[in-house]
């Protein structure tokens, strides 16, 4: 019998993947998706994530610019960090923290914050709200902080709750190179924002050695005079600290003057 020619368009079909050993009536499983489809899906997901990251960055930066009345000539994240530094230099620490809280509040519709504090925060003694904000933080803030994940934290009553967020290496701290910027534009105002405007206690524990940070939603922070993070010396990478050491001919680490 003569061989029948196969049309070229048939040969162009994506190869199917057959997986033997299916539990359904002993029939093999057939997948009609090519490998290129999987890679295209990942590429689309990455592209979508990048679009949202840029959107969040632009929104956050615009709010900071409105508060400071000044903008950097540098684009993207580098420009954001310069605006953050300007925020700390233009006023004292207390004013900087108040300004940072206003920036965080401006990112949300006022009614949403009020309803969350009144209706969601009291549920199950605050545990439900703490669980929710931990997950939202881990999902929506990686553009600012870098890779992070939800983890378990120990509560004061001896139980544990998956209301923590662990930041592997905080991009904001690493790029700002400043303990004061971390404390006054991030840690303290963020703790205040969640407690006062969302009804969720929060303790943030930045590690100034490896730049990681532990968020603990549902846990009250200590009084500022007992918070060790506020007593940290300048980072080794802080350019201002290096200059101070050279001018004073000192090798001793000193408390960050902007913290």
Phi, psi of 149 (to 5 degrees): -150, 155
pLDDT per residue over 15-31, tens digit each? 444 444 444 444 444 44
Q: Which of 70, 86, 91, 93 is nearest to 180 (CA)?
A: 93
Residue 188 lies in a domain: yes
Whole-number Å distance between alpha carbons of 182 and 144 = 12
pLDDT of residue 50: 81
- 224: CB partners within 8 A, 6+ apart: 188, 230
pLDDT per residue over 170-222, tens digit each? 999 999 999 999 999 999 999 999 999 999 999 999 999 999 999 999 999 99
Q: How many domains is the chain partitioned into structurally?
A: 1
Average pLDDT over residues 143-160: 96
Residue 61 lies in a domain: yes
Name the token pair of 193. 């924002």
Residue 25 lies in a domain: no
8 Å CB contact between 145 and 171: yes
Residue 220 lies in a domain: yes
Whole-number Å distance between alpha carbons of 103 and 65 = 10
Q: Which of 250, 203, 258 is nearest to 230 (CA)?
A: 258
- 130: CB partners within 8 A, 6+ apart: 161, 163, 200, 201, 217, 218
DSSP character for 253?
-
Q: Look at residue 75 and give its three-state secondary structure.
A: coil
Q: Which of 243, 238, 127, 107 is nearest to 180 (CA)?
A: 238
Residue 81 belongs to domain spanning: 51-254
Whole-number Å distance between alpha carbons of 36 and 190 = 43
Residue 42 lies in a domain: no
pLDDT per residue over 116-151, tens digit each? 999 999 999 999 999 999 999 999 999 999 999 999
Residue 6 lies in a domain: no
Average pLDDT over residues 33-52: 59
Whole-number Å distance between alpha carbons of 164 and 149 = 8
Residue 44 lies in a domain: no
- State the Cα angle at 25 between 20 and 27, rounded to 5°: 30
């Amino acid at each position: 019998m003569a061989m029948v020619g196969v049309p070229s368009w048939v040969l162009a079909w994506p190869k199917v993947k057959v997986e033997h050993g299916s539990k359904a009536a002993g029939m093999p499983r057939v997948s009609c998706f090519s490998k290129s489809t999987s890679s295209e899906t990942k590429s689309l997901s990455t592209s979508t994530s990048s679009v949202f990251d840029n959107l969040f960055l632009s929104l956050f930066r615009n709010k900071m610019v409105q508060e400071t009345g000044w903008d950097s000539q540098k684009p993207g994240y580098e420009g954001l960090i310069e605006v953050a530094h300007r925020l700390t230099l233009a006023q004292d620490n207390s004013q900087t923290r108040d300004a940072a809280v206003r920036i965080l509040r401006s990112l949300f519709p006022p009614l949403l914050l009020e309803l969350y504090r009144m209706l969601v925060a009291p549920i199950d003694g605050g545990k439900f709200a703490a669980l929710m904000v931990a997950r939202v933080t881990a999902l929506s803030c990686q553009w600012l902080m870098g890779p992070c994940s939800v983890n378990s934290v120990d509560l004061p009553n001896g139980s544990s709750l998956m209301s923590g967020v662990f930041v592997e290496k905080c991009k904001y701290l690493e790029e700002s190179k400043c303990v004061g910027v971390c404390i006054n534009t991030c840690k303290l105002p963020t703790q205040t924002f969640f407690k006062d405007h969302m009804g969720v206690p929060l303790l943030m524990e930045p590690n100034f050695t490896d730049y990681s940070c532990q968020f603990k939603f549902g846990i009250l922070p200590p009084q500022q005079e007992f918070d060790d993070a506020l007593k940290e010396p300048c980072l080794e990478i802080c350019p201002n600290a290096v200059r101070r050491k050279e001018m004073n001919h000192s090798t001793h680490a000193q408390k960050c003057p902007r913290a």
